[in-house]
Structure 1
Amino acid sequence: MVYGGKPSTGCYLCRKRKIKCDEARPSCRNCAVYRQPCPGYRPDAVFRNETRKIERLAKKDASSSSSSSSSSIASSSTPTSKTNTPTAQSPTLTETQARQPQESALTLQRVQDSTWEQRALCYFFDQYTITGEGEDGMGHLEYLPSLYARCGEVSPPGELSPSVCLRSAVNATALMTLANVAHAPPLMIKARQGYGKAIRSLRAALASPSQAVQDETFASVVLLSLFEDITGERNGLFSSHTAGFEFLMKLRGQDQLGHQQGRDMFNFAYTHTYVEILALGDKPRCDFDWVMDMLDENDPIESLMLAATKMSQLFLSMQAAPNPPDQTTVESWIAAGLECDSVLSQWTLHLPDRWLPLAVYSPQGEPLLTYNRISNAGVWGYYRAVRVMLQQLLLNLNRTLTSITQKNQQPGGDTIPVESKLDETSLRAVIQEMTTDTCRSLPFSLSDVDNLGRPTKPNDNSRPIRAAQAYGMLWPLWYILSCGMPTSTQAQQIRTVLARVGSSLGIKLALILASEAERMRGDSQPVGTPVVGS
């Protein structure tokens, strides 16, 4: 008997199902989700018999398993077959695997007591729910597993509860996530059926004043908006769920910010809404001035949200002003824009050291930026995109002011060259700096390099990028690509990243954004920037 190396530390049930275990004590999250008692964990010291007889038995068993795997799942028309169903192992597929036919993608691994729905849930929770760790506590949908575990299928007679809505939304989104990665049309059909059920139950929940404000209802809208982005089926680039977010944020009021779960939901919805205001030029349907007093200026994320809110107020005031504006109005806009830029510049000065990027070099000498965590890189991506938006706005305003000043010169007099109020060279330099830093961050953000810039191995799962982290990169990359300022090399790098996220992680919104950015690149008016002047 010899020591067999470091064994799996997951619970017995997760190891039996061959799915990733979060190893929580006293019971893991997967067992809670499936409402099964967690059987616990095996001792730290594990020995195995490595005699030749045992090795031959292991080889024979592996051969038998391989033989049984040759019968494709696609031969069964019922996606919930329990005999040849894939497990939740392999959280991401390579692009080569993702392009393989449905039968090949769905027969990578199987476990007898796992259904397609269970595998989809495990894959989805692994890819999209991230527990906040450390002082920053940045997670993603980390409240979802516990909410889902409490969802009951039984509702009062004649009434659909928010729990039913949330369960349907989670199941539908999980199935579509797996379907896109595995290229499995049968799962897509089941996912769309679940989406329709979730929409119907959501309408019923919103019609009830007591149910509309519950966390399950809000979380359902979060999941349905994610479903829309995974399928790439927005209305153009606008989400059909933005109005629902605005309605629920206003309805839930300040109480939602009183606990971490409500605050996490609010941050997701608020960011979702303001992306459309800043990047797409949409107008809010509700007044959110009350939110500014609730955001914490000392929190890196919420302070950035606060700066973006002030910037959006400038955008909205420009949209509401008479056209063409007078010189005094444009000068006031420029002053407000410079104030926003000063606030954003100060944002970087007050960050803890663990938030700051680290300048490193690849083995080939390429300058890169790495971070303490991938989630930090995502927040920096939003920061840089907002800075680019603001510089584009100031460029536009400066040109408008110059034009107005020239028109106001005395008729018939000599034309005197008008000096620009702003240094456009400095504004373009900031845009180029933000664009360059974004591109230098991409290898780390995609887990292609580690914190020191060293290439990661293809089979190294110590830091694999998860779908939630890639999802957070999309809108900043889209804006920087579509604004028309990146070099040809930088534009190609961003297009490659968007294509990679869309194909290997199954987030179809990435492919839509890449296509739309190319369509807009020739447009002289930056995306989302309000038009001023005539």
Structure 2
Amino acid sequence: MPNTGRPSRDCHLCRQRRVKCDLARPACQRCIKYGAQCPGYRDQQELVFRNADPTAVKKRQKRQPLSQIQSPGTSETSSSSSSSSSSTADPAPLPVLKVTPNGEYVFDTSADLFLIDGGHCHAPTLSRPVFEHWTVHSVPIILNVYSNLDFVKNMYRDFADDGPLVWAAHLFSRTYVTNLQYPTSLYRDAHQETQRELSTYLGKTLSLVSEALKTPEGALRDDILATVWLLTNYELLVGSLSRTETLSPWHLHARGLYSILKARGTAPLYTNHGRMAFWPAFSMVQIQALVSNTECPPESEEWLNAIKASLQGHPGDGLGVAISAFIVKVCSVQARIFSLLRRRDFPAASREYPDLFDQLRTAEKEFEDWLESNPVGNHVLEVYAISLYHSAIVKAYRGIELLINFLTHYPPCQVPLEQLKEDRECCFRMAQDAAQSILEGVPRVLGPLSSGKEKSPKDVFDALRVIWPLIAVYVMSICRPEQRLAAEGLLFYIGRELGVRQALNTYPDQLTLPQEATEPLGV
């Protein structure tokens, strides 16, 4: 008996169980929910060509060929004459690809799709739309976003299976598309459905990563390192960096990157491939140290020395090593400062202040001397690296300012009040100069977007790289009001136009500190 109804596109198991399938690729969510392995879907040819009984075949054979069908209102003469000239007719446009609200891609069949047969153009109408689930495009979106990172491209080339990288791609891409498609709000049902879908992808990704890390070779796998790094970027898309608790997802993933780098050791850093995998992860680890006012990992110096030893023939890593070494010193200084402030230890703060201030100024001069001997260009990656350096400057001098404010309330302080006032003015000047450099560098990355250029997923990566420097300017009260206002405008643009929610969820510069650190005496 012929199948006279519309053929089902559900997976084999859902059709067998007679339940509705969500058509997700590579595996439907219903199968995942019930812990079953999704057997896949029918071949597209099977959906188009179906067996029929001999009677139906004879009926089709009696039908008039498409080339002999006359248009309404035309004669046989005009029909025959037009058929001879149809071979030179220009074909109509192909169907337009549209996206349905549930995330499926469908071809609009309102336009005619021409088929060439023996020199004649025919215009059959498609019997139904051609659907394709959005997950087919999640990996291409990721490759477009990170088109400047060979590390990511190599990962998806070498690990193009149903592993954690693929599920992380579904998670990141779905979040990115949702943020752009619904910039302010979602219908309640659509929002709930999206959240359920994202929860499934996140759970699957974390499960595969956890399972891999239980094996001895798990931490050595490049795809695991890349997956956890993608998870930190996903958290920026949803804006979790605004939550500074130690158990917030972004901080957990950043510490996970450190654990993986620690387990990998220095051996990979002597190879070009190993350094390509190291830098994105280590950059996120250092940002986490800056955000949380803690020291960088104790292995940082060992890692950077290993890269220095292999720099011959790879001068491009020199800037990264110099900036990373500076950030290591900044994080050490700020961690000591905030420890003193939280303990309200006035005597220790008075003793350590000269050394802390001198360490920061020395580290800054060492980097400036290196930069003078190794000038950098205006490449986007170099602009980002310098912006990260300037954000560390802003953060460091904000810490020194808080320590100076604190010491103004301690009469026995061994540093004279006039010297503290002078140092405080220096902190404001250095931080505000660095903030201005950040603001002037951002248009080199985002400038083409504001000029009306069509936005593409690869613009998201540029936005993710400048978001922390802009946040540093926006939340630090040591910067001038007009600088903070400019940073706020750029963050709002990134959040609304590029779908990076972190730009709209910046955390305020409000730390649990003694009142003396925020209100200086006699200044």
Bigger Cα Rg? 2
Deviations 1:3-62 (A, max 9, x none): xxxxxxxxxxxxxxxxxxxxxxxxxxxxxxxxxxxxxxxxxxxxxxxxxx999846x437
> 1:468 and 1:460 mapped to 2: Cα distance?
15
- Compare 341-350 and 393-402 and name the one that shifted more: 393-402
The offset of 1:234, in angstroms, is: 4.5
Distance in 2, matches of 1:122 and 1:242, equals 25
CA pair 210-419 structure 1, distance change in 2 beyond 3 A = closer
CA shift in 2, pair 1:460/1:173, >3 Å = closer
| Cα shift at 1:126 | 0.9
Q: Is the 8 A contact 1:230 1:508 kept in 2?
A: yes
Q: 1:146: how far off?
A: 2.7
Q: Hey, what's the Cα distance between the residues in 2 that align with 1:55 and 1:470?
A: 49
User: Which string of whole-angstrom CA distances, capped at 9 and with x for unpartnered residues, describes residues 131-189 of structure 1?
Assistant: xxxxxxxxx3x222332233364xxxxxxxxx712222223222222222223756654
Q: Which stretch of the first structure deviates more once superposed, 388-397 or 210-219?
A: 388-397
Q: How do residues 208-357 of structure 1 correspond to structure 2 at under 5 angstroms? A: 208-234=215-241, 236-237=243-244, 239=250, 240-282=252-294, 287-296=299-308, 299-319=318-338, 323-324=345-346, 325=348, 327-352=350-375, 355-356=376-377
Shift of 1:396: 3.6
Separation of aligned partners in 1, 2:167 and 2:329: 37
Tell whether 2:452 aligns with 1:458.
yes
Give, in angstroms, the shift of residue 506 of structure 1.
1.3
Matches of 1:522 and 1:442, distance apart in 2: 31
Change (3 A) 1:495 1:316: closer
Structure 1: distance between partners of 2:206 and 2:282: 21
Give the distance between the partners of 1:395 and 1:474, measured in 2 at CA. 24
Q: Distance in 2 between matches of 1:444 and 1:293?
A: 32
The aligned counterpart of 1:378 is 384
Further displaced range: 425-434 or 394-403: 394-403
Query: Does structure 1 retain, via aligned residues, the 8 Å contact 2:467–2:491?
Result: yes
Matched, 1:499 2:504: no
Structure 1: distance between partners of 2:304 and 2:515: 30
**Which residue does the alignment assign to 1:480?**
473
- CA deviation digits over 1:189-230, x for unaligned, max 9? 434322210111111111111222211111111112222221
- Give, in whole Å, the separation in 1 of the partners of 2:364 and 2:285: 21
| Structure 1 residues 417 and 382: CA distance shift in structure 2, 3 A | closer
Amino acid at match of 2:269: L
> What's the offset of the Cα at 1:249?
1.0
Q: Percent same amino acid at aligned positions?
A: 16
Partner secondary structure for residue 510 of structure 1: helix
Say if 1:391 and 1:217 are closer, same or farther in 2 by CA, change over 3 A. same
Give the TM-score taking structure 2 as reference length. 0.65
Distance, in Å, in 1 between the alignment partners of 2:483 and 2:448 is 17
Unmatched 5+ residue regions in structure 1?
1-52, 86-110, 131-139, 154-162, 357-371, 410-415, 450-455
Normalising by structure 1, what TM-score?
A: 0.63
Is this contact kept in 1: 2:142–2:173, CA < 8 A? yes
Distance verdict in 2 for CA 1:459–1:402, change over 3 Å? closer
In structure 1, distance between residues paired with 2:278 and 2:481: 37
The offset of 1:283, in angstroms, is 5.3
- Would you say the 8 A contact 1:292–1:306 is kept in 2? yes
Partner of 1:73: 100
From 129, 138, 146, the counterpart of 1:128: 146
Letter in 1 for 2:151: Y
Distance 1:235 1:418 in 2: 37
- Residue aligning to 2:171: 172
Q: Is the 2:401–2:427 contact (alpha carbons within 8 Å) kept by the matching residues of 1?
A: yes
Pick the structure with more helix per residue.
2
CA distance in 2, matches of 1:348, 1:250: 29
Q: Which residue of 2 aligns with 1:512?
A: 505
Which letter maps to 2:306? M
2:407 aligned with 1:430: no
**CA distance in structure 2 between the aligned counterparts of 1:388 and 1:206, rounded to whole angstroms:** 37
Query: Residues 106 and 132 of structure 2 are in contact (CA less than 8 Å); yes or no, is this contact kept in structure 1?
Result: yes
Deviation of 1:417 (Å): 6.3
Q: Which amino acid aligns with 1:302?
A: V
Distance 1:283 1:55, change over 3 A: farther
Cα distance in 2 between the residues matched to 1:427 and 1:440: 20
Residues 54 and 286 (structure 1), Cα distance of their counterparts in 2 relative to 1, 3 Å cut = farther
Would you say the 8 A contact 1:120–1:178 is kept in 2? no
Q: Letter of the 1:394 partner, please give it.
A: I
Please give the per-residue CA displacement for 1:335-356, whole angstroms capped at 9, x wherever unaligned: 222212222332432333xx24
* Unaligned stretches of 5+ residues in structure 2: 1-85, 110-128, 183-189
Q: Is the CA contact (8 Å cut-off) linking 1:169 and 1:223 kept in structure 2?
A: yes
Secondary structure in structure 2 of the residue aligned to 1:485: coil
**1: CA distance between counterparts of 2:178 and 2:516?**
35
1:56-135 matches, cutoff 5 A: 57=90, 60-61=92-93, 65=95, 73-74=100-101, 79-80=103-104, 83=107, 115-130=133-148
Judge conservation of contact 2:337–2:400 (CA < 8 Å) in 1: no
The residue identity in structure 2 corresponding to 1:73 is: T
- Do 2:268 and 2:275's aligned partners in 1 also have CA atoms closer than 8 Å? yes
1:242 is displaced (CA, Å) by 2.0
Amino acid at match of 1:305: S
Partner SS for 2:483: helix
Are 2:144 and 1:147 equivalent residues in the alignment?
no
Query: SS at 1:61's partner residue?
Result: coil
Counterpart contact for 2:407–2:413, Cα < 8 Å: no
Q: Count matched residues.
A: 391
Paired position in structure 1 for 2:61: none
